[in-house]
Amino acid sequence: MKYYSLTTPSHKISFQQAVVSGLAPDGGLYMPEYIPELSNEFIGQLPTLSKTDIGFTIARPFVDESIADETLREIVSETIDFDFPLVVLEENVFALELFHGPTLAFKDVGARFLARILRHIAKTIHQEIAVLVATSGDTGSAVAHGFYNVEGIRVVILYPSGMVSALQEKQFSTLGKNIQAIKVAGTFDDCQRLVKQAFQDEELRKTRFLTSANSINIARLIPQTFYYFLAWSQLNTPKQVVFSVPSGNFGNLTAGVLAKKMGLPIRAFVAATNVNDVVPEYLHTNIFKPRASKQTISNAMDVGNPSNFPRLLALYNNDWNYISKEIHGYAFTDAETQTAMLDVFTQKKYVLDPHGAVGYLGLKKYLESTPSAQGIFLETAHPSKFPDVVESAIQQSITLHPSLAGLSHKQIQSISCTSNFSDFKNLLMKH
């Protein structure tokens, strides 16, 4: 399998090269040259297969033969070494819980896969790899934990000052060793821009092996297709299955579309967002208008210029009629999100996190017009990652997950930086 740059389609490289470079030199995103098709037989067998068998079969055609079957199987098995339960909330409404990994959010899957692929690559090239990542919260902790102590890799995490929760900040800025957090005086979009500029900087590229761990990295995207198959495998009689994906940078939804194109019979998707609604707006109007992000209670989705959007469009041949038929976009305010959290808690005794709540709302809205569908929304983070938001929404105190409770005494070790590229570059050159 080769990968091509969306900006210059004739620029084709191998999987390993695409992983290490993150973005193409022209700033384009890498895409697989074709979408591998899985057999109906494989789809039919899903309920009887192990997680590792499912993940390995999906990943194999995407990954160079230079990574042997045995190695890839081990990478997949370590990556998804936790549960992905499908919880019934109402008739035809299921929550796919993606928060049972080490940092309690779905981003663990992509980060763990990428870290293990990079560990393998660093070993083969006998060179240290520097990983740059911008985070609005969960990416940082998933990447920090996924890469912590991984030999041959240094990680730099950029995050917007004052815009990630205290717990999230502690999750990624207290580890030390090969993990360095940088607190940027700016927004998440500024952090993403700094990362993009670093990749386009000749001098930086020359002096070190740079790569990205953001959802633009193809090695994060591929394993995210696994959980659509894992969800499917848990349905008794799958029919007209719809996935509602609470979205920010649209990596998760792009992975879902990949899963569908590989052969998983998904009827439709819901792109559910908070008030950062450039994609739902596009789906309604055929006008794509990126803008500055607004802060909300589902802060991991506060994105004004979604980085995976060009990939999503490419999967639909840049055809608005096609994409708007298959993906339904809905946006929700914080007040609507809080009400959903309270309602679901009162009626079902189920605690939604603010991101999953947006997915739930999107699904309910879709089901209003298509009640015969079976709906799955992605519960992307554990609610106790956002204790303040959750407690005020459900008017009840919650217990912290044990892995979070231990963080309060840890010391934050981040360095501060302006949102100016030359300041950031100086910092990088020094470290």
Ligand X SMILES: *Cc1c(COP(=O)(O)O)cnc(C)c1O
Q: Helices (DSSP H) in 80-127: which residue ranges?
A: 107-125
The two three-digit tokens of residue 22, written as one number: 């993150």
The two three-digit tokens of residue 315, written as one number: 């999967």
Q: Which of 2, 12, 51, 107 is catalytic?
A: 107
Catalytic residue check, 123: no
Shortest Cβ 251–ligand X spacing (Å): 3
Listed residue (98, 86, 87, 93) closest to 362, CA to CA: 93
Instruction: Identify which of residues 173 and 252 has a Cβ nearer to ligand X in the complex.
Output: 252
Binding site for ligand X (CB under 6 A): 105, 107, 138, 215, 246-252, 300-301, 355, 380-381
Q: Are 385 and 105 in contact (CB under 8 A)?
A: yes
Instruction: Identify which of residues 194 and 381 has a Cβ nearer to ligand X in the complex.
Output: 381
Instruction: Identify which of residues 138 and 190 has a Cβ nearer to ligand X in the complex.
Output: 138
> Distance (Å, rounded) from C-alpha 361 to C-alpha 340?
7
Listed residue (104, 172, 102, 112) closest to 136, CA to CA: 172
Q: Are 131 and 199 in contact (CB under 8 A)?
A: no
Q: What are the Cα distances from residue 424, in Å, to 181, 292, 336, 414?
A: 12, 21, 38, 13
Shortest Cβ 346–ligand X spacing (Å): 23
Instruction: Identify which of residues 72 and 381 has a Cβ nearer to ligand X in the complex.
Output: 381
Instruction: Identify which of residues 16 and 171 has a Cβ nearer to ligand X in the complex.
Output: 171
**CA torsion, ordered 199, 14, 105, 323, to nearest 10 deg:** 90
Shortest Cβ 301–ligand X spacing (Å): 5
The two three-digit tokens of residue 58, written as one number: 């999906």
Shortest Cβ 132–ligand X spacing (Å): 17
Shortest Cβ 11–ligand X spacing (Å): 25
Continuous segment of H or E residues that includes residue 270: strand 266-273
State whether residue 1 is helix, strand or coil: coil
Question: Catalytic positions, please?
Answer: 107
